[in-house]
Amino acid sequence: MFAAIAIAVVVVDQLTKAWIVGQLAPGAAMVVIPDLLNFAHGQNSGMLFGMLPQSAPAFAVVSFLVAGLIVVYHHKAGRGIVTTIALALLLGGALGNLLDRLNHGYVVDWIDMGIGSARFWTYNIADACITTAIICLIVMAVYPRAGEWGADG
């Protein structure tokens, strides 16, 4: 299940990014739901929220190392469903953004959400999976038994 989820995240992430690149020029946007959701072709050469721009090569190395650590941790951690899903989402998201950094020198962001002029940062499927994984990991840190749910034996 771990590998299947991680691969699915990478595939969906890369397909949606390829679609947006084919539909919109960099910086262009299309309104999906007025005042709530736009698709906007962004190119993030930095890290989360565009911090440290022009650092994609360094973050590619970091992403590769993090991916390796996630696989090792999953191998050593318990096999609870929540743990497996969280680590798979984290791995898939890291690999999706790593592929962008290696192929483009930046990460393609395209989901622009907000209410009216109050907008969140533009993000992508990989970012959404990473955020979801972090929330699950925080929940497991606060409630350790959550990580054991569905574990074998």
**Domain range list for the chain:** 1-14+55-134
Residue 16's pLDDT is 98
Residue whose tokens read 């397909």 = 15
What is the percent of the chain where pLDDT is above 70? Answer: 86
Task: Choose the catalytic residue: 13, 100, 112, 127.
Answer: 127
Residue 75's pLDDT is 80
Task: Choose the catalytic residue: 13, 100, 109, 112.
Answer: 109
Q: Which of 6-10, 62-66, 94-98, 115-119 has the lowest mean pLDDT?
A: 62-66
Nearest-10 Cα torsion for 153, 4, 20, 29: -10
94-105: pLDDT as tens digits? 999 999 988 998
Active-site residue 35, yes or no?
no
Active-site residue 127, yes or no?
yes
User: Coil, strand, or helix at residue 81?
Assistant: helix
80: pLDDT strictly greater than 50: yes
Instruction: With beta carbons less than 8 A apart as the criterion, state whether 70 and 3 touch.
Output: no
Residue 153's pLDDT is 44
